[in-house]
Structure 1
Amino acid sequence: MPLFDVYPLYNVTPVSGKGVHVYDDKGIEYLDLYGGHAVISIGHAHPNYVKAIKNQVETLGFYSNAIQNPLQKQLADKLEDLSGCKDYELFLCNSGAEANENALKLASFKTGKKRVIAFEKGFHGRTSAAVAATDNKNIIAPINAQQAVTILPLNDIEAVKTELEKGDVCAVIVEFIQGVGGLDQGTKTFFEEVDKLCKANNTMFIADEVQSGYARSGKFFAYQHYNVTPDVISIAKGMGNGFPIGGILIHPSIESKYGMLGTTFGGNHLACAAGLAVLNTIEDENLIDNVNKIGAYFVEKAKEIPQIKKVKGRGLMLGLEFDFEVGDLRKDLIYNYHMFTGGAANKKLLRILPPLNVKKAHIDQFFEALKKAL
């Protein structure tokens, strides 16, 4: 049976990984500066991660959410400690799209309203409401277009105010650093005013931290660079280091009730074991400090290359903007220099999303290759 052909593929077949490297079926080593869309947070095959999953699958891999699962509470407590999100509650699911879908559903339940405000170049997933809130008409089917969503320009606070005052908006959803869109960010004033306007208009403020969370920005969550209090925070990608897991952190002002949300696989024993291993490693290896140190080093190195017109992003969620489209450059880096990087909706942007334990030597290696490729 052929695979449904929806992915343009590079002619590389990784078969193993270790730390910041992957190895293909020919034994070639690649420097992974993309981590499969920021999923690989603590490195490939981290020994603590491998041990945790191995021990759990040998004990109990799965049972449903109809029974007690203490691993979920352990994960929630550890997440609260490291993130600083005191008193929030955790609902576990399987992916970033599912996290945002549940966040939007919860906002609609809480407010009794249905319209959503999202922003240009935003990406929130491919499920029904999440994809409707994504600024890409090519992936929105007619069945998704039924959703009531208004897409506004980032940083246009008057437009947000006008729409919120109409009284029918259940949620404003925002990436504090846009991922797929190309590392654009709102201003401090904009984000903080949006937060105030949401609270004044009975509207839930949703922080989409699917890509920017889990220390990626240099703080545990990217919204923590600002003085805001999200009602719901969506998480996934780096949360499981490759194991499918997602979730939402829910402000205590939103009351739960049985049947409100649900999932078969979300929060299963293996997913929780993976999630705990990631959090323990972030803490034990001081990875937030490493993100800030290596991120600053990366920015300084980028200044040495005149072809780079702009460095975008924060921490280890970075983009290098050129005055030409980077598709061929990415291919050159893969095939001739054996390095994985990422693209974006901004075709002139090279995205850099390495494991959080990347070292200066790896950054040096990348920039030497980039200079030669350019």
Structure 2
Amino acid sequence: MTALFPTYKRFNLSVERASGTTVEDTDGKSYLDFGAGIGVCSLGHRHPSVQEALQTQLNAYWHVSNLYHNPVQENVANLLTQYSSGDQVFFCNSGTEANEAAIKLARKATGKHKMITFNQSFHGRTLGAMAATGQEKIHNGFGPMLETFQYVPFNDNETLKQVIDGETAAVMLEVVQGEGGINPADTDFVQELERVCQENDVLLIVDEVQTGIGRTGKPFAYQHYGISPDIITSAKGLADGVPVGAMIAKDKLRDAFGPGSHAATFGGNPLAMAAAEAVLKHVFQDGFLQEVTDKSNYLMDCLNELIKPLPVVSSIRGKGLMIGIECSQNVSHLVEALIEKGLLVLSAGPNVLRLLPPLIVSKEEIDQAVDLLSEVLSDEKVSAH
């Protein structure tokens, strides 16, 4: 019997090693990885520049208290603010922690407590982030949620306008809902949401834990929508697999997070910062982001041509290299069948296959993945499961 809590329903795959876009199991079988550690390994596994940065930092120091200056933190913070609408950065260890920091900052800076989030959103699993999540299945079994969160329909500004008021501290949004089913926001909805927030003196928080750091072809996905959030959260793709989270906020919020207001012992750990700096210097190059856009367009074209017509497929949607294939049935057995064929994918809700390949994926690997998807999704025995 395992000594681990059964908090994950694990697949029958034990990893031995990984490199680039390939994972190898303990039996020597290789898999094309279109899950990337749930969107974490943005530059693939063991990217040379990230590995070199980690080795260099290992030979310098692993950890010091945040009571002392860490120059690598400053470098990463400067890159994050240079490529976003923010001016100040708080480092932590995960997306959930980044969202917790955002919730605390919004409440403290405004003196208000009401928070508005959206149905089918996902913001994490601590009590605060779980309360922000607009999915009942995430809440079940944990008793009453924090009462100051209110959920409204996604892509629906009329309902938002009815509930936003003088007690509202912030609206928290994923511009592409990840765990909720890969649901992109409408441009008109996002732009009107920002206008309503500004009109009512309400902060706009954009959760970029899954969408950020080049995943959609821009440094942050909100940049597709022409808005300027007050607070941005980031984590998954930030350090290519080394645990890290970041909350980025505008300068007007700086004084609300003074000494003693918030902390994270391991936040901004030198190893995580070394990895993050290497990732950001690579991903935030215009040429690299254009390649992500070109490859995402190619992948979507292939899916629309070869996968969308299949009877089991209801729709295909997404942005950049963050794509959902909605099916007419539960996809858990499809995920397992694809693993058997050598392709690692994810689900997003019961009926959506989620594709989050490393940003370095090649067009040849895209062709390989689409062929495997076609093989499994057109198999009558599998699709009739």
Q: TM-score, normalised by structure 1?
A: 0.95
Asked whether 1:315 is paired with 2:317, we answer: no
Which residue of 1 is the match for residue 205 of structure 2?
A: 206
Q: How does 1:317-356 map to 2 (within 5 A)?
A: 317-335=322-340, 337-345=341-349, 347-356=350-359
Secondary structure, counterpart of 2:294 in structure 1 = helix
Q: Aligned equivalents of 2:299 and 2:127: distance in 1?
A: 37
> 1:139: Cα distance to partner?
2.9
Q: How does 1:30-41 map to 2 (within 5 A)?
A: 30-41=31-42
> 1:142: Cα distance to partner?
4.3
Q: Aligned equivalents of 1:38 and 1:276: distance in 2?
A: 18
Which residue of 2 is the match for residue 304 of structure 1?
A: 306
Q: Give the unaligned 5+ runs of structure 2.
A: 379-385
Secondary structure, counterpart of 1:59 in structure 2 = coil
Of residues 156-165 and 292-301 in structure 1, the stretch that sits farther from structure 2 once superposed is 156-165
Asked whether 1:365 is paired with 2:364, we answer: no
> 1:208: Cα distance to partner?
0.2
Paired AA for residue 231 in structure 2: V
Q: Aligned equivalents of 2:37 and 2:278: distance in 1?
A: 19
Q: Give the unaligned 5+ runs of structure 1.
A: none
Which residue of 2 is the match for residue 115 of structure 1?
A: 114
Q: Aligned equivalents of 2:47 and 2:272: distance in 1?
A: 16
Q: TM-score, normalised by structure 2?
A: 0.92
Which residue of 2 is the match for residue 164 of structure 1?
A: 164
Paired AA for residue 222 in structure 2: Y
Contact 2:204 2:231 in 1 (8 A): yes
Give the number of equivalent residue pairs.
369
Q: How does 1:12-27 map to 2 (within 5 A)?
A: 12-27=13-28
Which residue of 2 is the match for residue 233 of structure 1?
A: 232
Q: Aligned equivalents of 1:348 and 1:36: distance in 2?
A: 20
Q: Aligned equivalents of 1:217 and 1:144: distance in 2?
A: 35
Asked whether 1:44 is paired with 2:45, we answer: yes
Contact 1:13 1:25 in 2 (8 A): yes
Q: Aligned equivalents of 2:74 and 2:57: distance in 1?
A: 16
What is the CA RMSD across the aligned residues, in angstroms? 1.5
Distance 1:355 1:369, change over 3 A: same
Which residue of 2 is the match for residue 176 of structure 1?
A: 175
Asked whether 1:222 is paired with 2:221, we answer: yes
Which residue of 1 is the match for residue 150 of structure 2?
A: 150
Paired AA for residue 363 in structure 1: I
Secondary structure, counterpart of 1:255 in structure 2 = helix
Q: Aligned equivalents of 2:44 and 2:370: distance in 1?
A: 20
Which residue of 1 is the match for residue 382 of structure 2?
A: none
> 1:324: Cα distance to partner?
2.4
> 1:244: Cα distance to partner?
0.5
> 1:136: Cα distance to partner?
2.4
Which residue of 2 is the match for residue 6 of structure 1?
A: 7
Q: Percent of aligned positions with the same letter in both sequences?
A: 37
Q: Aligned equivalents of 1:169 and 1:142: distance in 2?
A: 25
Of residues 185-194 and 355-364 in structure 1, the stretch that sits farther from structure 2 once superposed is 185-194
Paired AA for residue 297 in structure 1: Y
> 1:17: Cα distance to partner?
0.7
Contact 1:111 1:202 in 2 (8 A): no
Distance 1:147 1:128, change over 3 A: farther
Q: Aligned equivalents of 1:287 and 1:328: distance in 2?
A: 35
Contact 1:128 1:144 in 2 (8 A): no
Paired AA for residue 217 in structure 1: T
Which residue of 2 is the match for residue 294 of structure 1?
A: 295
Contact 1:131 1:144 in 2 (8 A): no
Of residues 39-48 and 315-324 in structure 1, the stretch that sits farther from structure 2 once superposed is 315-324
Q: Aligned equivalents of 1:106 and 1:130: distance in 2?
A: 13
Q: Aligned equivalents of 1:316 and 1:244: distance in 2?
A: 21
Secondary structure, counterpart of 2:364 in structure 1 = helix
Q: Aligned equivalents of 1:68 and 1:340: distance in 2?
A: 41
Paired AA for residue 367 in structure 1: V
Of residues 348-357 and 323-332 in structure 1, the stretch that sits farther from structure 2 once superposed is 323-332
- Point out 4+ residue stretches in structure 1 off by more than 3 angstroms: 141-144, 283-286
Measured against aligned partners, the alpha-carbon deviations of 1:2-24 in whole angstroms (never above 9, x if no partner) come to 21111111010112111000111
Paired AA for residue 197 in structure 2: C
Contact 2:110 2:169 in 1 (8 A): yes
Q: Aligned equivalents of 2:62 and 2:44: distance in 1?
A: 23
Contact 1:132 1:144 in 2 (8 A): no
Q: Aligned equivalents of 2:203 and 2:314: distance in 1?
A: 37
Contact 1:129 1:147 in 2 (8 A): no
> 1:283: Cα distance to partner?
4.0
> 1:84: Cα distance to partner?
4.3
> 1:36: Cα distance to partner?
1.2
Contact 2:219 2:284 in 1 (8 A): no
